[in-house]
Structure 1
Amino acid sequence: MLEICALASGSNGNCYYIGNEKDAVLIDAGISCKQILKRMAEKGLNPLKIKAAIISHEHSDHIRGARVLAKKLNIPIYLTAKTYIAAYKNMQPAYPRFFEPGMAISIGEFQIHSFLKNHDASEPCSFRVEYTGKNVGVFTDIGEPCENVVSHIGLCDAVFLESNYDEEMLRTGSYPYYLKQRVASSHGHLSNAQALKLLEENAGAHLKCVFLSHLSAENNTPELALATHQPLTSRFEVRLTSRYSPTDVFVL
């Protein structure tokens, strides 16, 4: 059995839970430790199972709660050395464990496969978490799909996939020009249409559920994101994540 849950997903904080009967890992800890534990409790998830948190990059919405979480639960925080150096000093975990992009990290019975992605950070990574032949991907903050993303998504049974913005909403919205350019760039975020194309062309036959993740509050709506991916619902389930509350726990 594998339980997965987006505890938070959005520009104000990201945290993804993946656990089995004995162990669990968190991918990113971008909300406070207090909020992580509160949202886990809401969904009946046991924090004592958590053996580590793995950080994708240094932006505060991915690392904000890591330092306190490590102390509270006495767990290691894994991140790259470049990510650690680029993070705000008050967010750097006290006893980091470094990995190199491309490495597989062994935590309990999990293998966490790390790989580089396109984003405007020092050394941004995404992850595929493997357990007893099941694979869960956490693929957010992606300007455009690179070969790494394409190859790993085809292995996934479930995936948290960025569907950040609607292209028309971004174009006509209130963001200043430089920020629109940043979001839509090859090192920014993935649009609804880009996420759809990635799935249409590369999702494996065993993919069971896609969690549309990291939705913009200004340049997207849940309704638009779901409508864009509606053509794929005959192949697999499509669910939304939220920046304000945890998703229901999905069991693989």
Structure 2
Amino acid sequence: MSLFVASLNSGSNGNCYYVGNDEEAILVDVGISCKEVEKRMARIGLNIRIVKAIFVSHEHTDHIKGIPVLARKYQLPVYVTLPTWVNGGLHIDDNLLRPIASFDEIRIGEINITAFPKIHDAADPHSFLVECNGVKIGVFTDLGHPCEQLIRYFKECHAAFLEANYDEEMLNNSRYPYFLKNRIRGGRGHLSNSQALELFKAHRSPYLKRLFLSHLSRENNCPDLVANLFSLHANGVEITVASRYQETDVYHIQHYEKPTDFAMTESRTYVQASLF
């Protein structure tokens, strides 16, 4: 019972997250180019040929700009809500478009994906819980604030990508105009370090073993600052900062019946097969 997870990029310059088992995988968002997806997956030994689908969280450019080319090249179905598809202007071949709605459960081979609504300033934004044989991975970014659904699914996770977008003091003192600061912190923008930490402390699962701090602001956050903040409260949870410049390692998430029996390993040498 295991899943392999990695961030291919995380930030306002592009977001793309990989979750898969030995036979099939999915991408959540593709906000980097097809070429970058191919290069980054190859560098960490992931086989792009086992990717079976793309799931779209919302229509902002940093989450969708690479989808049309990647989907067309590899004939990948794109699971997206209709408001997101319309507002994003996504040019997807009809045979690849897979409309979804809130709380739909989609099965890709042995992988189950649950879409649920989140709070963000987009047309119809959604987060995803990815599950395979009892192992659950959350992809939770671009969050105005933690809603009831987010808390519910976060409590189930063995690993999660969780937004920690900005440090409050850095945002307050930044050169951003007042309207943009209010957009970020106004309840429909992004989650701060302290908001993410409170969610982590109050609602983490006893099985949670790795947390990817994701979608950090370049101007209003610092990887070392947020990593140190969470490490003070980790209590055995491994903390990884997902970079806006490069891919992470591949992490192997395994689950056993008891929290104390949880095993988790990481590897840069995990290779399914030749990339091409």
Q: Which of structures 1 and 2 has the bigger CA Rg?
A: 2
Fold shared by both chains (TM-score > 0.5): yes
Partner of residue 5, structure 1: 6
Question: In 1, distance between residues paired with 2:91 and 2:205?
Answer: 37
Task: Trace 1:138-153 onto structure 2 (pairs within 5 A).
Answer: 138-153=139-154
SS of 1:2's partner is strand
The amino acid of 1:167's aligned partner reads E
Question: In 1, distance between residues paired with 2:214 and 2:120?
Answer: 16
Partner of residue 204, structure 1: 205
Q: Is 1:229 aligned with 2:224?
A: no
Partner of residue 94, structure 1: 93
Q: Is 1:219 aligned with 2:220?
A: yes
TM-score by length of 2: 0.89
Cα offsets for 1:122-164 (capped at 9, x unmatched):
0000000000000000000001000010000000000000000
Partner of residue 241, structure 1: 242
The amino acid of 2:23's aligned partner reads K
The Cα of 1:69 is off from its aligned counterpart by: 0.7
The Cα of 1:33 is off from its aligned counterpart by: 0.7
The Cα of 1:244 is off from its aligned counterpart by: 1.0
Q: Is 1:154 aligned with 2:159?
A: no
Question: In 1, distance between residues paired with 2:27 and 2:92?
Answer: 15
Question: In 1, distance between residues paired with 2:142 and 2:93?
Answer: 25
Query: 4+ residue runs of structure 1 moved beyond 6 angstroms?
Result: none
Question: In 2, distance between residues paired with 1:242 and 1:64?
Answer: 18
Task: Trace 1:180-195 onto structure 2 (pairs within 5 A).
Answer: 180-195=181-196
Question: In 1, distance between residues paired with 2:172 and 2:93?
Answer: 42
| Count of residue correspondences | 250
Question: In 2, distance between residues paired with 1:214 and 1:142?
Answer: 10
The amino acid of 1:57's aligned partner reads H
Partner of residue 131, structure 1: 132
The amino acid of 1:205's aligned partner reads P
TM-score by length of 1: 0.98
Partner of residue 116, structure 1: 117
The amino acid of 1:69's aligned partner reads L
Point out where structure 2 has 5 or more consecutive residues left out of the alignment: 254-276
Point out where structure 1 has 5 or more consecutive residues left out of the alignment: none
SS of 1:198's partner is helix
SS of 2:232's partner is helix
In angstroms, what is the RMSD of aligned CA positions? 0.8
Question: In 2, distance between residues paired with 1:223 and 1:65?
Answer: 29
Cα offsets for 1:215-245 (capped at 9, x unmatched):
0000000011112212222231111111111
Question: In 1, distance between residues paired with 2:245 and 2:236?
Answer: 28
Question: In 2, distance between residues paired with 1:25 and 1:34?
Answer: 17
Cα offsets for 1:25-44 (capped at 9, x unmatched):
00001111111111000100
Partner of residue 73, structure 2: 72
